[in-house]
Amino acid sequence: MNTGSVAYPGRPKVHRESLPPGPPELPIVGQSFRYITDQLGLLHEAAKYGDLATVSTKPTLIYLVNHPDLIRELFVTNHQSVGRGFLTGTYRYLMGNGLVTADGPLHLRQRRLMQPQFHHSRIAGYAAVMTDFANRHEQEWQDGQRIDVAQEMSDLTLHIVVKTLFGLDPPDTVRRIGEAFEVSNDYITIRGNQPVPLRKLLHRLPVPLTHRFKRGLAYLDETVYSLIEQRRQSGLDGDDLLSLLLNVRDDEAENPADAVMTDQQVRDEAITLFAAGHETTAVALTWTWYLLATHPDIQSRFQAELDEVLNGRIPTPGDISDLPFTERVLTESMRLYPPIWSTGRMTYQPITLGGWEIPAGAGLVAPQLLIQRDPRWFDQPLEFRPDRWTPQFRENLPAFAYYPFGGGPRLCIGEGFARMEAILILATLGQRWTVRHDAQHEVELMPLVSLRPKGGMPLFLERRTRAATRAAA
């Protein structure tokens, strides 16, 4: 059986002199405790030692990669020698061997088969689902209401992903799928921070967290496998992503039986798309609303563009190219608050990076959150300035100075889907509502799997009467 991962070469033995400099380590434990409790702080400190720095040597050898050229070398030039490896260890409990976790030949095959399903012409077919749910969602909002926009965006993107992926919308089913995902997220984060032997033991014992995770997983499995069976019986004529995955044929397969994905592979890919696509887009939208709320002048320009182009009507994919300011707002928001704040690779073979020999079995982290706020690439990096994204600026920006969707052969497969979804939601809701920041609430980053705001994101809603009147007309 192809497990999708390439054998782990084991933790490398290295001499300190052969490592780039990095923050001082504690005896025996190295930086492992800090890596778990304050990874972002540790990476900030490591960045002071150079563009390639040693973050920790125990229990795993970890490097920080903090320069766009080195990231390109890692993600593109060396892509055949690196993979996800142990970096996605706990994700496998949920995603199995889907695109996010698979490496080597399985990843290449799955990527080849799945890429056409994300062609923009296919994705455009989901636009109406996105705007329809955004419309339904805001029906419950009230003028003057204080909402947690993080929760609202998470609910909205959950409904959209469950409909586009599985063709499902009964509220109770969507709620249960959402709950199973939340428990999985906690499980992946908590277990991911535990030493591997303890993690494996706790995964087998009936402790409460494991129990809740397995119960949620059983519900997800049951739902997905029964949908697969229904689709196969009904002749696969659905237009949701699950049906597309079931319809895929591998023209390069030597054996006809291998030309289709097994039910288990379809299950792994479907759960992977669900997990990778829901939370990330919600986080991108959350920070964008926050930035609009804290920059009223930019919010006014954004709304003026929507009024001029849409005049109160529901946006379609064809409108997106006519909304350049909205696109810049989103682009700049994902620069300051990249939903996936750090992306990494593990070496399966030794590589050379920036002149340093990196042994097999090492982890390399390339944090978007550091690079995309680096004054070497972005003037006044902490300022929210959508206007910086002129065509000339984009052209002169080094590759991998901005990479919220990663890059190289593992570039996010859902980038087009996510960008379209985010812009359609911003355009639908931004025409009707103005958001205002709750000054009482202190905003704090929670850099776990994704970059959520700690304690949610409370914002006040103001109904825009002019646009609302036009929409009703």
| CB of 281 or CB of 303, closer to ligand HEM | 281
- Phi, psi angle pair for 243, to nearest 5°: -65, -40
Quote the CA–CA distance of 347 and 14 in Å, as a whole number. Answer: 14
Indicate if the alpha-carbon torsion angle 96, 97, 98, 99 is positive or negative.
Answer: positive
Beta bridge partner(s), residue 447: 451
Closest separation between CB of residue 429 and ligand HEM, Å? 16
Closest separation between CB of residue 465 and ligand HEM, Å? 31
Quote the CA–CA distance of 168 and 65 in Å, as a whole number. Answer: 41
Closest separation between CB of residue 249 and ligand HEM, Å? 20
Query: Is beta strand 82-83 parallel, antiparallel or unpaired with respect to 52-56?
Result: unpaired
Closest separation between CB of residue 449 and ligand HEM, Å? 11
| CB of 299 or CB of 342, closer to ligand HEM | 342
| CB of 34 or CB of 107, closer to ligand HEM | 107
Q: Which residues contact 428 (CB under 8 A, 6 or more apart)?
A: 131, 134, 135, 138, 314, 315
Closest separation between CB of residue 411 and ligand HEM, Å? 6
Quote the CA–CA distance of 469 and 454 in Å, as a whole number. Answer: 36
- Which pair of structure tokens corresponds to residue 468? 């609302």
Closest separation between CB of residue 412 and ligand HEM, Å? 3
Closest separation between CB of residue 332 and ligand HEM, Å? 14
- Phi, psi angle pair for 317, to nearest 5°: -60, -30
Q: 412-415 long-range contacts, Cβ below 8 Å, gap at least 24? A: 412/276, 413/99, 413/111, 413/114, 413/115, 413/118, 414/118, 414/273, 414/276, 414/277, 414/280
| CB of 413 or CB of 457, closer to ligand HEM | 413
Q: Which amino acid appears at position 9 of this protein?
A: P
- Which pair of structure tokens corresponds to residue 245? 């995955």
| CB of 229 or CB of 415, closer to ligand HEM | 415
| CB of 30 or CB of 344, closer to ligand HEM | 344
Are 39 and 341 within 8 A, CB to CB? Answer: no
Q: Which amino acid appears at position 134 of this protein?
A: A
Closest separation between CB of residue 343 and ligand HEM, Å? 5
Closest separation between CB of residue 407 and ligand HEM, Å? 5
Quote the CA–CA distance of 155 and 29 in Å, as a whole number. Answer: 40
| CB of 14 or CB of 76, closer to ligand HEM | 76
| CB of 45 or CB of 279, closer to ligand HEM | 279
| CB of 117 or CB of 194, closer to ligand HEM | 117
Q: CB burial class (10 A; 0-12, 13-18, 19+) of residue 202?
A: middle
| CB of 77 or CB of 210, closer to ligand HEM | 77
Cis peptide leading into 59, omega within 30 of 0? yes
Quote the CA–CA distance of 370 and 337 in Å, as a whole number. Answer: 10
| CB of 377 or CB of 464, closer to ligand HEM | 377
Quote the CA–CA distance of 366 and 207 in Å, as a whole number. Answer: 34
- Which pair of structure tokens corresponds to residue 361? 């079995």
Quote the CA–CA distance of 359 and 368 in Å, as a whole number. Answer: 24
- Phi, psi angle pair for 403, to nearest 5°: -150, 60
Closest separation between CB of residue 365 and ligand HEM, Å? 11
Closest separation between CB of residue 400 and ligand HEM, Å? 10
Question: Which spans of this chain sit near ligand HEM (rule: CB under 6 A)?
Answer: 75, 99-100, 111, 272-273, 276-277, 280-281, 284, 339-340, 343, 404-407, 410-414, 417-418
Are 149 and 459 within 8 A, CB to CB? Answer: yes
